[in-house]
Amino acid sequence: MNAILAATVKTPDIDWGALGPLIALTVGACVVLMTGLLRSPAARTNLVPALATLTLIVAGALAIGQWDSNADVLEEALRMDNLALAMTVLFCFAGVLTVALSLRDLAPRDAGHGEYYALLLVAVMGMVVLASAQNLVTVFLGFEVLSIPLYVLCATHLSSEGSLESGLKYLIIGSVGSACLLYGLALLYGATGATDFDAIAQAVGGGEIRGDVLFLSALALILTGLAFKASVAPFHQWTPDVYEGAPTPVTAFMAVATKAAALAIIVRLFDVAVVGAVDDWAPAMAALAVITMLVGNVGAIGQSSVKRMLAYSSVAQAGYMLVGVIVSTRLGVQALTFYLVAYVLMNMAAFAVIVARERETGLGDDISALRGLGAERPTLAWPITIAMLALAGFPATMGFWGKIYLIDAAVDNGWAWLGVAIVLGSSLSLVYYLRVVAAVWMPSLESSVAVAARPAGARPIMAGASPEADDVADTRAGAVPAGGDTPTASTARGTHEERTDADIGDGRDPSGRDRAADRDHVGRDHRHVHQPEVVLVAVACAAAVLLLGVFPDPLFDVARDVGEAFGNFD
Amino acid sequence: MNIPLSIMLFWPAVLGLLAAVLPRGLARFVELAGAFVPLAYVVVLVLDFDPAGGPQYVTDVPWIPELGVRYSLAIDGLNLWLVVLTTVLFAASALWIAFRPVHHSPRLFAFHFGIAETAVLGALFAQDLALFVLFFDLMLVPIYFLVGQWGEGDRVAATVKLVIYTLVGSLLMLAAAVATGVLVAQANDQPLSFAINDLIGNTLSPTTQNWLFLGFALAFLVKMPAFPFQGWMPDGYRAMPLPVLVFFSGVVSKVAVYGFLRIVLPILPDAALDFQMPLMILGVISILYGSAMAFTQTNTRLILGYSSMAQLGFIIIGIFSLTAEGAQGAILQAVNHGLVVAPVFFIIVLLAERAGGSEDIRDMGGLALRAPVLAGLFLIAAMATLAIPGSANFVGEFLILLGAFKSELVIAALAFVGVAMASVYMLRMFIRTMHNRTGPAVESRELGVRDAMVIVPLVLAILAFGLYPQRALEQSENSARASIRAVQERTGAGTQAAAKPSLTREGRTATASGETHP
């Protein structure tokens, strides 16, 4: 019977081993979701994150295990080549760090631990599908599986209006992006008659459809759709708002993993499927890259919210990384891979510090939360310093080699001016990166006085408020210290845990004044919230940035493997 | 005698790290050890150096094969004396700090200080373009922190301005360096390599070279600074803590000079020829502008800052005379200037202490009366700055002007004005601070022993170097020739230059004539 069935029904030959990471993530997500339903709060708050971490580690390990096997799975719907595997490891890594950052966050508590972490795992799964897609259908599938959990995750901090707004905004704009992408994919199918990347590449390589309006509109729409996800200007406007409003661990995850996934699929689509039409899309994409660098770097200047600043910086970084796609060479793919890894580490270090400071100061993600960090908390000050310097491309960090690699790739294929654009963009970026470093290490005399006088958190910091206004507010707040010793102080002083929670509320809730009073009473020192895992993430990422900046060879090897297994460049 | 250069290179950084983790009180002593061991090592280097040999003490291992970057260090005539200068000035600064500890976070200071010395030495040692760029950019990081955390006045704004100004140049150089490597590899059909030796003798088209040249030149001219890139300088100089200012003004700007000789002239000879005139004109403008500004400023730091600009204008002219004399004069003058400017900066602190804390020459005056030794030391340094015969500056400027006369008479004539102007601003500064009417808040007193321990050796070094510059000249001669060989091959002047009598002889005559002066 079986033999007859095998002879008549052609079942797809499935390489289950290659699908391992996806299976692990799926199973893990379900288990995590179910575990989240347990009654015991301890199980929910501890077991669920542990299981999520375990899932991510298993998935990452399964991916590492099949390095260099470059398997086509599910009738070439997916290709687990080295790029896909490297990205899988990267997503899982980012996922683990996100779990660590979320551990004491309010968001999982608001949304339910099971749901929160399960959504995270599903998002990672979507990213893996997206990064390994070889078919237009899987592209869209992965894109949606990645997006939908993120829309929800952005809004998980239910008690914060900003979070809800962020989720809604992301949903609406993300849907526009999805629509563009879907339309583009459909047109591409119409133009080439194929959904498989290799078949598309053949059709495009034939050259007949090169000037075809249908084909060109398809490219334009696909690029638009993916540009939304990668926050490439001018489709980046959602980025700062969503990043600012979303719970910071989610922001960190979106900033690094989503961007990596989007760039992975951009490089796959454009450097594999439609690489034959490179002369058509490369100039447009180069223009986008330059605009992106410019918009991102200019936008980041003058942001007082560090999350917004990092959002714009991530826009700029996307511009740099697009260069790796535009050159459409093996070297470009390698440079992109290298830079993506560097990008993840640099940003994770920065976000971890922001998370830590949000909980410690009640100033939210305002840059003033970092003021004087160098003297106060060296274990946080160094990571953010290294992250900022690395993002700016200073030597002895990964950012330096990443930029050199990208410039190398650009010059190598005759795009020297893009290399120049990268360095000019980087020089602009110094303005805001150094501002953060200056805030950490060089609190100017006036501002340190202001910090000393400030009943921290007494006044919700509105992002974008001018520093002058802040100072005025400071002096006013300092002039009325009476609130400090009212009985509310004692009511506000609850368990350690509660205070942490209240603090995460960004100081936007009305109890801010009480907490400030509490702090004034206790002493000027910001409370030391016990959060070793956040500090560990920051320190580990920063150490990696430095270490791989001095000994970048292993990462170069990985990038080379990725490049060699990628696509069909000559 | 062959200790790896890596030890000397990383010694200061490692000790800086050590200082950062050891108890607070030890920081300055570890810092001293970090600065003095390289100084001892460099003495051995100078004695051991073979002027006829090429690069010595070579360390050369692949670092990042994927990018063709090698960890490649060496000493030759071009960098030897700049290394000497670096170690001397860092040692002097460290000693100064040991006597006058920084007002807060000494451990962190020692850490950044050590990194700074390592970065400067690394840029000088590097025989690989990517490695050079790396260290050149790395220099900025500790300086950023040193100025921003321990500086004076509006230090944060000043340091951000300084870093952005100089890093914009550096980043363009980064792009140019990568492009040079890639394009040369493509032209020669070789694997990518950034080793400077592999890049020399390339066949890049003059147009390409010109673009690359602009990238490098911008980085170096900003760092120096030369006209019109001096925008960061006044604020930066005002804000820098003094020990930092000493090595910044003395050494860091010299790395830019070195970059021209090590990288630009050998690798981009066509462009160097194309840009010879514009650069020489920039040099002349720097001299005239710097001198004029130095003459009108009243802040002593800025007087020195603008005088440095003028001196570096000289050096640019020397380099872009594209003659062996000019190149050698440029190296010598770079060392001289660093050596001369350092004690003057220290003296400024002492002057300010005696003038009620003001660094303005209008608040000074009449200091010499009760501090003759201090005045004497200042006079020697000032005289050396204005290149009085008998000082090594005289030899350096002589060689530079000789080179300039050979290539562009008009430029040389204009540059000569700078020599005269130097005496105007330096003597003005000396007279206004040491003589004249006593300033309102001036309380003169003699140099303390501790301060003397820093300043006297530096002044003695000026004298020694002035009386006996031959060793430096001999040791740098071959390398200076090598540096401009590529350019001279393009002009066909190579054979002519080789027939020239030895430069050291000219140097010797110059010094000999100087010795007749008191």
Residue A70 backbone phi and psi in degrees, to 5:
45, 55
Instruction: Tell me the residues of chain B between 129 and 158 that have a Cβ less than 8 Å away from chain A.
Output: 130, 133-135, 137-138, 140-141, 144-145, 148-149, 155-156
Q: What is the pLDDT of residues A56-79, one digit of tens each?
A: 999 999 999 998 888 888 888 899
Residue A570: what pLDDT?
A: 63
Query: Measured between alpha carbons, how far apart are the two ends of chain B, in Å?
Result: 40
CB neighbours of residue B194 within 10 Å: 29
Residue A326: what pLDDT?
A: 94
Average pLDDT, chain A: 83
Instruction: Round to whole Å and give the CA distance between B309 and B257.
Output: 12
Position B112 pLDDT exceeds 90: yes
Residues in chain B, overall count: 518
Position A521 pLDDT exceeds 70: no
Three-class secondary structure of residue A562 per DSSP: helix
Residue A482: what pLDDT?
A: 37
Q: What is the pLDDT of residues A537-549, one digit of tens each?
A: 999 999 999 999 9
User: What are the Cα distances from residue B117, in Å, to A256, B94, B109, B120, B241?
Assistant: 36, 11, 12, 5, 16
Pick from A427, A435, A559: CB nearest B171: A427
Residue B389 backbone phi and psi in degrees, to 5:
-55, 135
A326-343 burial, b at 16+ Cβ within 10 Å, e below that, comes to bbbbbbbbbbbbbbbbbb
Please name which of B391, B412, B393, B414 lies closest in space to residue B403, comparing C-alpha atoms: B412
Whether B425 maps to a domain, the answer reads yes
Whether B322 maps to a domain, the answer reads yes
Arithmetic mean of pLDDT, A346-353: 94
> Over A99-114, what HEC string results?
HHHHCCCHHHHHHCHH
Whether B179 maps to a domain, the answer reads no
Instruction: Round to whole Å and give the CA distance between B416 and A534.
Output: 63
- Output B503 or A272, whichever has higher pLDDT: A272
Residues ≥6 apart with Cβ < 8 Å to A570: none
**Percentage, residues of chain A above pLDDT 90:** 57
Residue B442: pLDDT band (50, 70, 90) is: confident
Which residues of chain A does B171 touch, with a Cβ-Cβ cutoff of 8 Å?
Answer: 393, 423-424, 426-427
Q: Which domain holds residue B394?
A: 275-518
User: CB–CB of B197/B130 below 8 Å?
Assistant: no
Report CB contact under 8 Å: A420, B172.
Answer: yes
User: What are the Cα distances from residue B184, in Å, to A419, B69, B196?
Assistant: 16, 14, 11
Report CB contact under 8 Å: A423, B172.
Answer: yes
Residues ≥6 apart with Cβ < 8 Å to A487: none
Report CB contact under 8 Å: B178, A427.
Answer: no
User: CB–CB of B200/B208 below 8 Å?
Assistant: no
Instruction: Round to whole Å and give the CA distance between B272 and A387.
Output: 38
Question: B245: distance to nearest CA of chain A, Å?
Answer: 18
- Specify the amino acid at residue B22: L
Question: Helices in B435-469 by DSSP H: which ranges?
Answer: 449-467
DSSP single-letter state for residue B447: P
Report CB contact under 8 Å: A395, B138.
Answer: yes
- Specify the amino acid at residue B3: I
Question: Helices in B386-448 by DSSP H: which ranges?
Answer: 392-407, 409-434
Q: What is the pLDDT of residues B381-434, one digit of tens each?
A: 988 888 888 888 888 888 999 999 888 888 888 888 888 888 888 888 888 888
User: What are the Cα distances from residue A468, in Å, to A451, A465, A506, B414?
Assistant: 14, 8, 21, 50
Whether B255 maps to a domain, the answer reads no
Please name which of B268, B179, B280 lies closest in space to residue B221, comparing C-alpha atoms: B280
Position A10 pLDDT exceeds 70: no
Instruction: Round to whole Å and give the CA distance between B129 and B71.
Output: 10
% helix, strand, coil for chain B, step of 5: 75, 5, 20
Q: Nearest residue on chain A to B64, judged by CA atoms? A: A553
Report CB contact under 8 Å: B178, A407.
Answer: yes
Residue B445: what pLDDT?
A: 80
Residues ≥6 apart with Cβ < 8 Å to A451: A368, A371, A372, A443
Report CB contact under 8 Å: A403, B174.
Answer: yes
Arithmetic mean of pLDDT, A429-443: 89
Burial class of residue A14, CB neighbours in 10 A (0-12, 13-18, 19+): exposed
User: What are the Cα distances from residue B391, in Å, to A238, B94, B306, B312?
Assistant: 66, 26, 21, 17
Strands A78-80 and B56-64: unpaired
The ipTM of this complex is 0.88
Residue A39 backbone phi and psi in degrees, to 5:
-80, -35
Residues ≥6 apart with Cβ < 8 Å to B475: B46, B49, B51, B77, B80, B81
Please name which of B294, B298, B284, B310 lies closest in space to residue B352, comparing C-alpha atoms: B298
The string of DSSP codes covering A272-335 is IITGGGHHHHHHHHHHHHHHHHHHHHHHHTT--BHHHHHHHHHHHHHHHHHHHHHT-SHHHHHH
User: CB–CB of B33/B124 below 8 Å?
Assistant: no
Whether B93 maps to a domain, the answer reads no
Whether B208 maps to a domain, the answer reads no
Please name which of B142, B154, B153, B159 lies closest in space to residue B108, comparing C-alpha atoms: B142
Three-class secondary structure of residue B75 per DSSP: strand
B228-253 burial, b at 16+ Cβ within 10 Å, e below that, comes to ebbebbbbbbbbbbbbbbbbbbbbbb
Position A489 pLDDT exceeds 90: no
Q: Which helix (H) or strand (E) holds B71?
A: strand B69-75
- Ramachandran bin of A326, using left for φ above 0, alpha for ψ from -120 to 50, beta for the remaining angles: alpha
Whether B366 maps to a domain, the answer reads yes
B451-488 burial, b at 16+ Cβ within 10 Å, e below that, comes to bbebbebbbebbeebbeebebbbbbbbbbbbbbbbbbb
Report CB contact under 8 Å: B149, A442.
Answer: yes
B9 touches chain A (CB under 8 A): no
Q: How many domains does chain B have?
A: 1
Instruction: Tell me the residues of chain B between 95 and 124 that have a Cβ less than 8 Å away from chain A.
Output: 105, 108
Q: What is the pLDDT of residues B123-170, one digit of tens each?
A: 999 999 999 999 999 999 999 999 988 888 888 888 888 888 888 888
- Output A487 or B234, whichever has higher pLDDT: B234
Whether B28 maps to a domain, the answer reads no
Burial class of residue A510, CB neighbours in 10 A (0-12, 13-18, 19+): exposed
- Specify the amino acid at residue A26: T
Mutate to test the interface with A, among B128, B138, B178, B229 (most CBs of A within 10 A): B178
Please name which of B297, B288, B299, B280 lies closest in space to residue B345, comparing C-alpha atoms: B299
Instruction: Tell me the residues of chain A between 283 and 312 that have a Cβ less than 8 Å away from chain B.
Output: none
Residue B449: what pLDDT?
A: 86
User: CB–CB of A305/A313 below 8 Å?
Assistant: no
DSSP single-letter state for residue A196: B
Q: Which two tokens stand for residue B286?
A: 């720097």
